[in-house]
Amino acid sequence: MAIHFGTSGWRAIIADEFTFANVRRVIEAIARYLESTEQRAVQENTGSENEFGLRILVGYDTRFLSRAFAEEAARIFLAHNFQVNFCDSPTPTPTIAYEILKDKRRPMAGAVNITASHNPPEYNGIKFSSSDGAPALPEVTRAIESLLAGVSESDVKRAGSVVHTRFKSVNLEGGYLKRIAELVDLAAIRRAGLRLAYDAQHGTGAAIFGHIAHEFKIPMTLIHANPDPSFGGHAPDPSEEHLGELKREMRREHAALGLSTDGDADRFGILDRDGTFITPNEIIALALDYLIDERNFPGGVCRSVATTHLIDAVAAYHHREVFETPVGFKYVGELIKQNKIVIGGEESAGLSIRGHVPEKDGILACMLVAEMVAVRRKSLKQQRQELFKRVGAFYNIRLNVPVDPVKREAVQKKIVNLPVLLNNLRQLPKVERENTLDGKKVIFEDGSWTLIRLSGTEPVARLYCEARTPAKLKILRREVEKLLRTS
């Protein structure tokens, strides 16, 4: 069976494709890749091999069997003579990314995290982070996939069943919490008297937020903080549809903000004082404006091709450069590493800032939003309204359009010819240009745009639309969706 890495690792259904046998094969391929590349890098830098073995970090989330899968990964790395640091509890992906970078004197070869992030409970997955703390780039995952094709179950090296004495158990919360306190003005949040409500979605973020509330004396109510492999019966995704209980908790506690993260705490969801969901697109734009205005951050901004042009408008207002990337935070992370940007973001609730990890960090995003409200002393809706007055309003939507596998080729032809097809529709403005960075994006003369990407893992087309008024967005969505659905 062929195993392929997506935009953020490999994910599959537990006991179907995500089995111990397949996990062993994937980890074996990662171990072989690191042996061939990282040891060579050590030799080039020092003139000799690393006699103590490469260092690797292994973590896991709260999903069914995640720790057991992680222990199996540790056995394979041990058999390859890696020094294994093993997380002593379910750990957020951004915490793992920070740990990779924390100790420059003893660099790590990377990290493996057993997680399926925001996917439904029946899924699990493997995220592989490189030695730079970023999600592995496509050239790395392609190399791993190539090695994986030649790995059978019998080829896998495994240490014995009792391995706990041979790996170092680590708790990463203290170091990461210290870093958050350096990046976010937690004292300002406390001084403002903001009462926060946080929904952990039964995932890995609960411990960190509990520490923030306790150590920095920030009033905060936590819900769904207990680990639960079923995640309460739905995907641990902090999207609007899953935040109903958080909204009710906010009303009970008179909270100023509702915060949430997904299963591995790399994505965020935000509710304003009145329970209004503020979209990730808007949060990224507001945070960009805040970091420039209030914190004087230098640099440009990076967004994926599917992310709002409101960010472009904010950047233009502040005379900052915009970098556009394909979908996938690994591309955004490259610019974080180079210190070129104030903030990098994706509409799928991914965000990181200058000087931080080149990985999505939902914990940072939540606390940065709390700082923004505390310092400006205005609700997010008020801040959004003021931003729209300065740079103009933007309205957007993302949806999945089912694609019959039999008709996939016909849909692909439509996507290729999308500019021509849309130009023939009288209800829409004229096409100004197209963008093929990732999928097909069509930008119209009035600044509205649409993007279509065929999913590589599901029978759907990802459809994104943005316009300057709700009425124009409604027409654009209707016409593009009708085009896709028509035989």
Residues 273 and 376 in one domain: yes
Using CB atoms within 10 Å of the CB of residue 157, give its burial: 0 to 12 exposed, 13 to 18 middle, 19+ buried. Answer: middle
pLDDT at 46: 43
CA distance 304 to 288: 15
In a domain, 470, yes or no: yes
The residues that bridge with 19 in the sheet, in sequence order, are none
- pLDDT of 47: 45
What distance in Å separates the CA atoms of residue 209 and residue 199, rounded to the nearest whole number? 10
Residue 208, C-beta contacts closer than 8 angstroms, at least 6 positions apart = 92, 95, 173, 176, 177, 180, 265, 363
Residues 46 and 21 in one domain: yes
User: Tens-of-pLDDT digits for all 487 residues of the chain?
Assistant: 689 898 789 999 999 999 999 999 999 999 999 999 865 554 444 444 445 579 999 999 999 999 999 999 999 999 999 999 999 999 999 999 999 998 877 889 999 999 999 999 999 999 999 999 999 999 999 999 999 999 988 889 777 665 556 788 999 999 999 999 999 999 999 999 999 999 999 999 999 999 999 999 999 999 999 999 999 999 999 999 999 999 999 999 999 999 999 999 999 999 999 999 999 999 999 999 999 999 999 999 999 999 999 999 999 999 999 999 999 999 999 999 999 999 999 999 999 999 999 999 999 999 999 999 999 999 999 999 999 999 999 999 999 999 988 888 989 999 999 999 999 999 999 999 999 999 999 999 999 999 999 887 678 899 999 999 999 999 999 999 999 887 6
Q: Say yes or no: 40 and 161 in one domain.
A: yes
* Same domain for 436 and 379: no
The radius of gyration of the chain's CA atoms, rounded to the nearest angstrom, is 23
DSSP H or E stretch at residue 331: helix 329-337
Could you tell me the strand order of the sheet in which 431-435 lies?
Answer: 395-402, 460-467, 449-454, 440-444, 431-435
Query: Which among 391, 407, 429 is the end of a domain?
Result: 391
Can you give the residue range of the structural domain that contains 472? 395-485
Q: Which residues of 446-472 are buried (b: 16+ CB within 10 A; e: fewer)?
A: ebbbbbbbbeeeeeebbbbbbbeeeeb
The answer as to whether 423 is a domain residue is: yes
Give every CB contact of residue 250 below 8 A, 6+ residues apart in sequence.
197, 257, 258, 271, 273, 275
- Tokens representing 188 are 């300002």
Close Cβ partners of 29 (under 8 Å, ≥ 6 residues apart):
144, 145, 147, 148, 151
pLDDT value, residue 349: 96
Of residues 50, 84, 262, 251, the one with CA closest to residue 163 = 84
- Asked which of 368, 391, 414 is the last residue of a domain, the reply is 391
Q: At 22, which helix (H) or strand (E)?
A: helix 20-46
The pLDDT of residue 166: 73
Which residue from 153, 144, 145, 158 is spatially nearest to 36, judged by alpha carbons? 144
How large is the greatest C-alpha to C-alpha distance in the chain, in angstroms?
70
**Shortest CA distance to 135 belongs to which of 338, 328, 324?**
328
Residue 481: inside a domain: yes
Residue 249 CA: distances (Å) to CA of 121, 197, 244, 279, 417: 24, 7, 9, 20, 48
213 & 328 share domain: yes
Q: Which of 125, 148, 171 is the last residue before a domain boundary?
A: 171
Contact 231, 223 (CB under 8 A): no
Together in a domain, 250 and 387: yes
- Say yes or no: 381 and 418 in one domain: no
pTM (2 d.p.): 0.94
Kindly state whether residues 467 and 332 are assigned to the same domain.
no
Q: Does some domain include residue 2?
A: no
Q: Are residues 129 and 156 in the same domain?
A: yes
Q: Within 89-243, where are the H helices? A: 93-102, 138-149, 173-183, 186-192, 206-215
Sheet holding 257-261, edge to edge: 220-223, 196-199, 257-261, 268-271, 277-278
55-60 and 83-87 beta bridge pairing:
parallel
Amino acid symbol at 338: Q
386 and 341 share one domain: yes
Q: How far is CA 377 from the centre of its chain?
A: 28
Measure Cα distances from 63 to 118, 121, 236 in Å.
11, 7, 10
List Cβ neighbours of 223 (8 Å cut-off, separation of 6 or more): 197, 198, 199, 200, 245, 246, 249
The answer to whether residues 444 and 314 belong to one domain is no
> Does 101 share its domain with 147?
yes
